[in-house]
Structures are given as structure tokens and as C-alpha cells.
Amino acid sequence: MTSLLWKDTKTHVSELKKRVPCDYAVDFDLKDVAAEDGYITTDKKSVQYYVRIAEISKFKESESLILKKKTGLKSIIRVLEVMDIDPLPISEFRKGKHKLSEVETFDTGDRILIKLEEKPSYLETLDQKVKDVVADAKKVGFDIPLSVAEKVSKHKKEMKPAVYKKFLERIMAELARNGIDPHEAVGIIAAQSIGEPGTQMTMRTFHFAGVREMNVTLGLPRLIEIVDARRIPSTPSMTIYLKPEFEKEQDIVLNVVKKLENTTVIDVADIITDVGEMTLSIVPDMPKMNDRLVENSDIMDALEKVKGISVISDEKDNRITVKPTQESFKKLYQVQEQLKVLTIKGIPGIKRAIARIDNLTEAWTVYTQGSNLREVLELDEVDASKTYTNDIIEVASVLGIEAAKNAIFLESQRTLAEQGLEVDQRHLMLVADMMTFGGSVRAVGRTGISGRKSSVLARAAFEITTKHLLRAGYLGEVDPLTGVAENIIVGQPITLGTGAVNLVYKGLKK
């Protein structure tokens, strides 16, 4: 439902409040507007009052009117009620496809309402046929994995009931046979299963196919980066998907690219210092400007925000002359340094953005060098549910630890898959789980999982032996000998596999 938004003064609002219901004459044309409610802003940026509107009509002279302005009145709003509300930012309103940013005099917009719904459990969303298979399996006596149930449901018709039952029993047996027994050393198996293919990985960095200046760390270096949980990956990058209504429109996509790329003056122009005149000349480099979709006016807009300079634009010569208001070499130098890194547009951290079209679906996707998930998700056109970054720490801070766990899993799986290596996903899941179960992303290694084992002897066996032993000595640490390394050190069987079994005599059968 569309609401009317307008800017007004506090005195008008308080008068309206006193005299509701009343007629309010305004100076803007509301011929085509049909709204039943409205919002009033006093500062253009957020709305503070909610108004219920009975009807909107053309302006007609009458005595009981409250006038917004003395002249130029065009419409009458019949106001039923005015209420104070907690200030809402204007950006919560949407006009057509775009969010509103400012209300100058009046505007119409739809309030963006986010519906909170509980997601139905995965089982509920499944086909009835699949649910039947799950129920049948329950009768046989086991919980069938849903992926298997889906496959079985497709072939259920081809089988006679007796065969079908036998088939389910066979699945149960296979599942039992494939389960991991308690006390299996899954960590060691995972380590070996990832480590062996790891020896076949490349040590090189590859270039992003067909795109210059863009490369992505792959192979072994990337895998090491993932398990080390580096704060900033060596080549952060994002894959940005747009909302379905925008993804096929080239103009909007290019506009998004323009909004994304962080461009500074030095990226698109040369800065020439004239010491005699005490001026700086910004000479735009047209090929670079076109490449980055920057226009002269963009540079002018950016320069407007800089204090302590006067700007003269020379259209003929295609150069912009900047003169510090205070004449000194020090100031001149400072301004020059300031201009070099002046952001014309873009999101901090995004160095490069490139849009590519999928030939099949004709949908555009934006790839970036550099990552800033939080601010990219804020963009109106971006589909926040699909957009992806390879910066795991950033995922953890923006989306939470469960998302980071999935990111570790997906990134490591992708890294291995790109090299043509197949590692069972459960090994990678184990690694992802181990790195995140503590609530924060922890590295595998000295500073992470291995360095924080509870047992002193295990830590001492891993790295920096004397430091750990000395520290444990003066703190009086107790080692319960529950892990593997400590039991090997003291010469006991380890608590894994057959070593974890306690035998007891049960007596002979009578």
C-alpha cells in the first residue's frame, strides 16, 4: 500500500494534532495520488509522524482549512489522525524498485515491511511420496536419510510390496555397515584424506579467466589460508548476485558496478603540481575514466567535500584546477596527498568489480576483487541471500559462526574440486566443525586448535616443549591422560580403537 510522505514544520504538525479531523491545504499537486495514510518528516531524513488520511481532493477555498503555505496551494488532505511514532529512516520506504533517500517536499512510497516467518522444517517441504518412504522405513525400524528416501520414492512403483520391504531392509543393513564405530580415529583419517591429495596440488596462483588484473589464490596456498584462518585472505573476492528483477537489466548492473568499485582520483587522473602558481591540476585520463565509468562531474562532486580548497573546472582544457585557500608549500603538499587518495565513489575495500553475463540465463553476476560483505549487502539491488565472499572471517563477523562453518567447508571443498581432487565431504565438515565449535573461527595449528588442547603433555609434544612444561610446572597443572599424545608419552595404550575397550569377566554359561 502506498503512503504519502511529506516534509513539514513542527508548528504545522502540532496545529494539525490539535484540530483533527480537519482539512489541510498543501502546496503540492496530489492529483494522481491515492493514499490512505502518510508520514511527515521534519528533517528530510526520517519520518516522525504517522497520519491517517480520509481523502485527497483538489484545492478549494474554504474557511476551516489549515494552510501549509499562504500561496500556491494545490490540494487538500482530509486528515483523520496524527500520531507520534519512533523515527523511521526514509530508506525504509520504497518507490517502485528503489529505496527513497530523501524527501524534499513530498513523495510517495511503500513502507518496506519484512515478514518474519518460521521456516518449515525440511521434512515438511518434501513430497508426500518421500514422506511415505520415510514412514515405511520407520516401520522397518530405522531412520532413512532424506536424500536416500527421495531416490527410493522414484522407484517405489516399480517394486512389488515384498521386494520393496526387502529393499528397505537392505538399506538398513547397508547404513549400519557404513556407520563409523565409536572410538574410530576420524581426525587422523580426515587429516590423511585431505593431506594426501594435498600433495598433488599446485603451488601457483591462477588468473581469473579472461579478466586482467584479477587473480584468485587457488590450490595449496588457498587451502593453507583456509585452515590458518587468516584475518584477510591474500585475494579476497566476492560474487555478487542481484535480485531477480534487476539481474537482466544491463543499465542497472553497470550502475551497481559503478557503485561498488572504490575509485580514487589517482586511479583515473594525473595530478600535476604547479609550484609557481601554487595550484594542483587534475588531468582526467579518458581511457581510464571510461574504463571505470567515471565522469568529470563525479570528480567535482568528490572535490566539493574537501575543505580548504577552491576548485575551478576548465571544460575546454579538460582539467580541474585546485588551489589551496591558504598559500603555503606545506598546505599544497598536504592537499596533493589528500587528493591522491580521495574516494570518488565506491565501497571501501572493493578494488575492482566486473560484471559478467551468463549466456544461458542472461543474468548478470558481479565479481569483485576485494571484499566488504557488510556494505555490499546494504545495497538495494543486491540479493543478500545469494551473495558470496571468500573471506571467512568476514562471514563470521557479518553472518555468524554457523555461516562461517559453511564457508570453511564450501571454500575448502571448492579449492580441492578445482584441482580435480575428490575428498569425501565429511572430512572437510569435520575440519570446519573443529575450527568453529568454540564460537569463533580458530586456526588449525600453534595458535588455534593444537595450541589450546587442555592437556599439557599434548601441547608440549606439539610445539615449544619447554615453555609449556615450565608453565604447567609452576601453575601446578594436572593432566588426566585422556588424549592420545599424553598416553603415548607415558607408555599406555591410547584411548582409541581397541585401546578404549574395557574387558570384564562375565562368567561361564551354566
Partner 1 sequence: MIFMTFTKFEKARIIGARALQIAMGAPVIIDVPSNLIDPVDIAMLEFENNVIPITIKRAESS
Angle at 63 between CA 62 and CA 67, to 5 degrees: 85
Nearer to partner 1, 21 or 499 (CB): 499
Query: Counting contacts by CB under 8 A, is residue 503 touching partner 1?
Result: yes
Identity of the residue, 157 or 510, whose beta carbon is nearer to partner 1 in the bound complex: 510
Task: Select from 116, 439, 502, 510 the one that contacts partner 1 (CB under 8 A).
Answer: 502
**Under a CB-based contact definition with an 8 Å cutoff, are residues 372 and 347 in contact?**
yes
Q: How far apart are CA 188 and CA 184, in angstroms?
A: 9
Task: Supply the minimum distance, in Å, between the C-beta of residue 181 and partner 1.
Answer: 4
Instruction: For 228-283, give the secondary structure using H, E and C.
Output: HCCCCCCCCEEEEEECCCCCCCHHHHHHHHHHHCCEEHHHHEEEEEECCCCEEEEE
Q: Please identify, among the stretches 70-78, 347-355, 463-471, 500-508, the one whose residues bind partner 1 according to the rule CB under 8 A.
A: 500-508
**Cα separation of 376 and 367, whole Å?**
12
Q: How far apart are CA 65 and CA 436, in angstroms?
A: 65
Residues 400-419 within binding reach of partner 1 (CB under 8 A): none
> What is the footprint of partner 1 within residues 162-221 (CB under 8 A)?
181-184
Exposure class string for 363-375: b at 16+ Cβ within 10 A, else e? bbbbbbbbbbbee
- Minimum distance between the CB of residue 497 and partner 1, rounded to whole angstroms? 5
Q: In angstroms, what is the minimal distance from the CB of 456 to partner 1?
A: 23
User: To which H or E segment does residue 392 belong?
Assistant: helix 392-399
Exposure class string for 269-301: b at 16+ Cβ within 10 A, else e: bebeeeeeeebbbbebeeeebeebbbebebbee
CB of 397 to partner 1, least distance (A): 33
Q: Is 504 in the site for partner 1 (CB under 8 A)?
A: yes
Q: Which of 115, 119, 506, 510 binds partner 1 (CB under 8 A)?
A: 506
Q: How far is the CB of 500 from partner 1 (least distance, A)?
A: 7
Interacting residue with partner 1 among 31, 119, 307, 509 (CB under 8 A): 509
Residue 83 or 501 with smaller CB distance to partner 1: 501
Contact 398, 380 (CB under 8 A): no
What's the min distance (Å) between Cβ of 202 and partner 1?
A: 38
Asked whether the beta carbons of 388 and 395 are under 8 A apart, the reply is no
Interface with partner 1 in residues 426-445 (CB under 8 A): none
* Residue carrying C-alpha cell 595449528: 445
Nearer to partner 1, 420 or 507 (CB): 507
Q: Which of residues 139, 203, 475, 505 is near partner 1 by CB under 8 A?
A: 505
Between 333 and 437, name the residue whose CB sits nearer to partner 1: 437
Counting Cβ atoms within 10 Å, is residue 119 exposed (0-12), middle (13-18) or buried (19+)? exposed
Does 142 help bind partner 1 (rule: CB under 8 A)?
no
3-class DSSP assignment, residue 397: helix
CB of 496 to partner 1, least distance (A): 8
Least distance CB 165 / partner 1 (angstroms): 22
Could you give the string, one character per residue 460-499, with x where binding to partner 1 holds by CB under 8 A and - elsewhere? -------------------------------------xx-
Task: Write 303-308 long-range contacts (CB < 8 A, 24+).
Answer: 303/339, 303/342, 306/335, 306/338, 306/339, 306/342, 308/335
CB of 175 to partner 1, least distance (A): 14
Which residues contact partner 1 by CB under 8 A? 181-184, 497-498, 500-509
